[in-house]
Chains A and B, each alone.
Chain A
Amino acid sequence: MPAIEVSGLKKAYGSLQAVDSISFTIDKGEVFSLLGPNGAGKTTTIEILEGLRERDAGDVKVLGMDPWKQGGELHKKIGVIPQGFTFLPYITPKEAVNYYANLFDVKVDADQILRTVLLEDSKSSYFMKLSGGQKQKMGLALSLVNRPDFVFLDEPTTGLDPQARRAVWDVIRNLKKEGISVMLTTHYLEEAEELADRVAIMNKGKIITAGSPAQIIAEYGSGEKIRVRGDEDLAEFLRTQTGLQVAFVDGVVVVTLKAKGDTLAVLQAIGKSGMEWSDLTIRNDSLEDVFVRLIGSKLDEGQTAGAS
């Protein structure tokens, strides 16, 4: 039985169809990432799964339960960081963890949990004095207090410095190791590529595509390319020598590869040309390249705080 099963899920706010008949499943132990531009409907979807919002239509089962009707039971088994996590201003991370432990009636080592999320140094500062990233880490710590089977992380790394972001990645990898399923939203595509077993790309309330990052790149990417700095003559030479598609953009020659053997053929041709060349790279499209192509507009991280 999958951890989450969603089919035909719909939610409208007035005339705005925020979630428009989406279906997907998440397996036990899987890290699943929901991607999409601002206002795509990610938070709405995730909050319906958490039992915070009522759906208009569709079947939803989370750990075998209806999240809206069996919220009380479900909440004992899931951990959540809401988007833009905030807490009581005058409570310290350590107190917050102990408060949650008492509410859930579980015994925890607060220091241990705070160490896992790299928040040990600030465990006695008031929440309002924590930096944005430290606040997010406290949210992460709270989501782990009840030893959940499933963790929902809505933009857990937004606003974190690179080191802190990697600390969160480590926490997510450890969750996966322990067999805990994770649903993650993020605007950092390399993060999804790094962590997620499967991703779904959402736009205007609909899921455009879903699958492993590699599958999606293979399906929608423009294939592997060799880029090399050189001049127009080099581009012409490679075109005639290899018969491949060659473009020349801003002093860079871009060769689109078709088959595995093409790589060697291109490299040999470059050597044979005797012309000046430098900065050679062989690279496939990243998830971000594909995402941008699919959504048709560049993601603007600066706006992530806007809609929620």
Chain B
Amino acid sequence: MGAAKRIKADLVNFAHSYSRSRIGLFFGLAFPVILILLFGAIFSGSGSASTVYVQNLDNGPVGSLFVQTLNGTGVLHIDLVPSSQNFSQYLLSNSASDGLVIPSNFSAAYQADDHVNVTEYWNPSSSTSEGIYIVTTGVLNAFNLQKANGTAVLGVQTQTIKSSSYTYIDFLIPGMIGFAILVSPMFAITNISAQYKRDKIFKQLSLTPLTKTDWLIAKIGFYIVLTFASFLLMSAFGIFAFGAHITFTPWIIPFLLIGPFLFVSLGMLVGTVSTSVESAAVVGNLITFPMMFLSGTFFPVSTMPAYLQNVAHVLPLFYVIEGLNNVMIYGNNGAALQDLAVLIVISLVIFALAVRFFKWRED
């Protein structure tokens, strides 16, 4: 009973402290929202239409038909370049690398069954260029088929796994929630614990009945509350600003609980084993940044090379994000349960280590 009272007192005190420090508020609440707005803005609207500059030099009708068909795919945004312009010069002055030139004999050759090429300007290292190449050859094949009076037998119809109205942002949201779960407690607690150690505040607190476990639990409690708040804020901004579809299922809750538990403990561990505030920040960043990028926060882990995927599987954030994806997108609660089990084991180990190495009295 006494412990509950102490934890509450420490939590209230920490909340005062936190709410008055702008840095804490920024990382805890503003930053996740900024992230949602940023990514939402980048990927909203026409999905991911790539812009391609097209110069139609064709004297006949087939060239414009071809341009119309390209436009009709909806995947490309066509920007027509007047035939009077020098095309490559035009691309350079627009800082663009992707373009198509339809030759002047396009219609004539098409009608005469002569071979003719459309020229694609591209950047071999860009996936946009690749996409444009694929779309262009697809449309060209349709024209070839038409010319041969053939009928398409095989086809593809695209659909996302959820309703077809799901957009890119919906797939991003679990990753960004995971990001918020990681970043806000990790940065803050690493810094706070190293600072308290330097300023001898832990020593000071050790002279009260507060125990180090009480202290850690109070911080975990605080970050659980903050994580729920930032989850709701991110969801609200996602929904109102971009019409995101968010699956609110009770299955999200265990992840919002275990995440802060894990990363507060990890932050504490890093802060307490570091010899200075600066080295704690360095070690904290060394852990946080790779974890952030390799755990599927911004792009799916399955697109990474195999050895990096192996690395991802030892990062705790991976299981947070995979779990959130499982419950929010795939509705695969069985798989989420496995993620949860892994997380509970990792969290308990890290919590135990943090309590073990946390020097409350002597430095």
Q: List residues of A whose CB falls within 8 A of some B CB.
A: 50-54, 71-72, 75-76, 78, 80, 82, 84-91, 95, 99-100, 102-105, 126
Contact = CB atoms under 8 A, between A and B. Distances in A.
Contacts of A53: 361-362
Chain B interface residue number, banded: 20 to 34
B362 A103 contact: no
Given A52-B361, A103-B9, A85 B20 contact: no
Given A52-B203, A85-B204, A105-B2, A99 B9 contact: yes
Interface string B151-179: 00000000000000000000000000000
Contacts of A89: 17, 21
Contacts of B141: none
Contact of B203 (A78, A82, A104): A82
Contacts of B208: 75, 100, 103-104
Interface in B1-33: 2, 5-6, 8-10, 12-13, 16-17, 20-21
A84 B199 CA distance: 9
B6 A102 contact: yes
Interface in B196-229: 199-201, 203-204, 206-210
Nearest to B20: A90
Nearest to B9: A102
Contacts of B203: 52, 82
A87 B6 CA distance: 18
Contacts of B13: 88, 91, 95, 99
18 contacts: A51-B361, A52-B206, A53-B362, A54-B362, A71-B206, A75-B208, A76-B209, A80-B207, A86-B201, A87-B204, A90-B20, A90-B21, A95-B13, A102-B8, A103-B9, A103-B209, A103-B210, A105-B2
B9 A50 contact: no
A105 B362 CA distance: 25
Given A53-B361, A71-B206, 16 more contacts: A51-B361, A52-B203, A52-B206, A71-B361, A75-B207, A82-B203, A86-B204, A90-B17, A90-B20, A90-B21, A91-B17, A95-B13, A99-B10, A102-B9, A103-B9, A104-B209
Nearest to A72: B209
Nearest to B208: A103
Contacts of B2: 105
Main SS class of interface, B:
helix
A53 B361 CA distance: 7
Contact of B201 (A52, A88, A100): A88
Main SS class of interface, A:
loop
A82 B361 CA distance: 12
A82 B16 contact: no
A72 B210 CA distance: 9
A91 B16 contact: yes
Contacts of B21: 89-90
A88 B17 contact: yes
Interface string B273-291: 0000000000000000000
A126 B20 contact: yes
Nearest to B19: A90
B16 A95 contact: yes
A91 B20 CA distance: 9
Contacts of A52: 203, 206-207, 361-362
Contact of B209 (A87, A91, A95, A105): A105
A80 B199 CA distance: 16
Considering the complex of A and B, which 9 residue pairs feature the smallest CB-CB distances, nearest first? A102-B9, A90-B20, A103-B208, A86-B199, A99-B13, A90-B17, A52-B361, A80-B207, A103-B210
A99 B8 CA distance: 10
Interface string B117-128: 000000000000
A72 B209 CA distance: 6
Nearest to A78: B207
